[in-house]
Amino acid sequence: MPKTRPAYPAEFRRQMVDLVRAGRDPTDLAREFEPSGQTIRNWVAEVDRGEGRREEKLPGADPGLTTAERDELVRLRRENRQLKLERDILSRATAWFARETGVLPSGSSGS
């Protein structure tokens, strides 16, 4: 199994983000401290998304979702899944009642 190390403390991560925002290069920080430059860049991007900063680094690149947007997306997907399930149940119930009574439900056309 690969070796894993405990997660860096939130305060340490925040300090690295603050240093990058103050103008330090993540690669230089990686030489001075343990996490890699890419890890530090990922922390900065994560904090930026959480704070609603949405600067695109590359043309056409996805700027990512803010925490609030991500929470809303999860909520809407859950709601959408529930509505599809309810629609499917109602559709099956309508078909069952139509078969049982021999009557087509209103709103459907016979053509």
Find all residues with CB under 8 Å of 44, minimum gap 6, and list them: 16, 17, 20, 21, 26
Domain count, the chain: 2
Tokens representing residue 46 in the block: 């994560």
Same domain, 70 and 47: no
pLDDT tens-digit map of 2-28:
677 778 999 999 999 999 999 999 999
* pTM more than 0.85: no
Q: Which domain holds residue 36?
A: 8-54
User: Which pLDDT tens digits describe the chain residue by residue (111 residues)?
Assistant: 667 777 899 999 999 999 999 999 999 999 999 889 999 999 998 888 877 776 555 455 456 677 788 889 999 999 999 999 999 999 999 999 999 988 765 655 554
In angstroms, the CA 68 to CA 18 distance is 22
Same structural domain for residues 69 and 42? no
